[in-house]
Amino acid sequence: MKLLVVGSGGREHTLAWKLAQSPVAQTIYCAPGNAGCSQQGELVELDVEDLTALADFAEDHDVDLTLVGPELPLVMGIAEVFAERGLALYGPSQAAAQVEGSKRFTDELLDKYGISNKKFAVFDDLVSANAYVRQQGAPIVVKADGLAAGKGVKVAQTIEEAERHIEACFVDKTFGEAGEVVVIEECLVGQECSIKVFTDGETVVPMVPSQDYKRIGDGDTGDNTGGMGCYSPVPVLDDETFWYIVDEMITPTVRGLAEEGCPYCGTLYAGCILTPDGPEILEFNCRFGDPESQVVLPRLESDLVEILQATVEGRLDEVDVRWRDQKAVCVVVASGGYPGGYEKGKPITGLEEAEADGAVTVFHAGTAMQDGQLVTSGGRVLGVTALGQTFAEARDRAYQAVGKISFENMYCRSDIALRAVEA
């Protein structure tokens, strides 16, 4: 089979790496990919937002199946563009991708079908939004309705902080069209976890759960990032709660989407929080996570291509999806200064030594080749993933591997998966 992976980050390298393990994977294209993706396939210089060019490429190269990594092409409607040409694509329709593309859509869907008890309100003007915040008090969560590159959500600890974010949406237009509508939610407290599922719109098959680290600094301090590390499984999430989320929250969401006329086919990602009153859905994403994929996919024992094909063809119930009973820990290695300003083009060394332990895989995120030398090209540069029979073993392997990698101003958190070891 000829396969096309759309995207360029750590998630996309992980997907290409997993696809390459399938006996039916003949050729893998990555558009645009990164230096790591070139180990598994051929890099194609295409913009993820140029849906027509991507479809042209898939058509011209007889691609059998396209797998979309990032959310933007899905929210833009890449599934429809491919479907019009009879091209197979793994990922939800534009209408179904609203679960990530619109916070309002998701909150109203969950409320309509009795899936969430979370209190929320929707506003399209500054005065009403500010009045609601003052009435509710802080802490409170303010969200730009649309996609805002992960920066549209503010967990405000004070009323003033919430009002500043509302002003950024309505007055400063910081988030453009994404901020024309604001969703304000109650602030829930508890440990967070992610549960992703494969679904063809009817059958729902859960992946193993994971827990990531969003803050830049040890002890969950500092600015939010795209994710500084992750681990799987999640000790704080017991089996009963896991299956409650899958059966009573995610599956009814899939049914609800079908009822609304937008059946969901692809990976549905539930960002959950475990509150004292039970689990709640914080958000849905319409794709694989990053860096969650870097700990979930290495634990997948089954053939990913077979699963994706069955999902696209509406026969997911025919596939046996198996998982390794191992722990996985991923430590993200970043450029100094991230998530703020950082320099690119720093030579990277030590990757072969890091992967000398067969239980370690280094996934590339922000890397490129420059004059034959591997260099940094992004804020999050690498995801170093290790497997082990215990969290302590996996964590030790991951950090030992990180210690063998070097580039100027390299940075990583030192406490990834520590809470799992101590659980």
Question: Phi first, then psi: what are they for 337, rounded to 5°?
Answer: 105, -25
Tens digits of per-residue pLDDT, 193-204?
999 999 999 999
User: Would you say residue 44 lies in a domain?
Assistant: yes
Q: What is the pLDDT of residue 76?
A: 98
Domain CATH number, residue 136: 3.30.1490.20
Q: What is the pLDDT of residue 69?
A: 98
Domain CATH number, residue 86: 3.40.50.20
User: Would you say residue 108 lies in a domain?
Assistant: no
Q: Containing domain of residue 357, as a range?
A: 327-422
Assess whether the previous peptide bond of 92 is cis (omega < 30° from 0): no
pTM: 0.96
List all residues 6 or more positions away from 277 whose beta carbon is below 8 Å from its beta carbon.
none
Q: Which of 358, 198, 167, 168 is nearest to 267 (CA)?
A: 198
The H-assigned helical ranges of 251-327 are 251-259, 293-296, 304-312
Series of mean pLDDT values for 10-residue runs along the chain (423 residues): 98 98 98 97 97 98 98 98 98 98 97 96 97 97 90 92 97 95 97 97 98 96 93 97 98 98 98 96 96 98 98 98 98 97 97 96 98 97 98 98 98 98 89
Q: What is the pLDDT of residue 31?
A: 98
Q: Are residues 22 and 130 both part of a single domain?
A: no
Q: What is the pLDDT of residue 148?
A: 86
- Region of residue 299 (left: phi > 0; alpha: psi -120 to 50; beta: else): alpha
Q: Are residues 199 and 303 both part of a single domain?
A: yes
Q: What is the pLDDT of residue 423?
A: 82
Q: Which of 198, 317, 200 is nearest to 258 (CA)?
A: 200
User: Would you say residue 147 lies in a domain?
Assistant: yes
User: Would you say residue 369 lies in a domain?
Assistant: yes
Q: Compute the distance between CA of residue 249 and CA of residue 246 in angstroms, rounded to an integer.
A: 6
Q: Are residues 263 and 368 both part of a single domain?
A: no
Q: What is the pLDDT of residue 408?
A: 98
Q: Are residues 418 and 389 both part of a single domain?
A: yes
Q: Are residues 266 and 297 both part of a single domain?
A: yes
Q: Are residues 207 and 312 both part of a single domain?
A: yes
User: Would you say residue 29 lies in a domain?
Assistant: yes
Q: What is the pLDDT of residue 151?
A: 80
User: Would you say residue 209 lies in a domain?
Assistant: yes
User: Would you say residue 211 lies in a domain?
Assistant: yes
Q: Are residues 204 and 287 both part of a single domain?
A: yes
Structural domains in the chain (count): 4
Tens digits of per-residue pLDDT, 274-329?
999 999 999 999 999 999 999 999 999 999 999 999 999 999 999 999 999 999 99
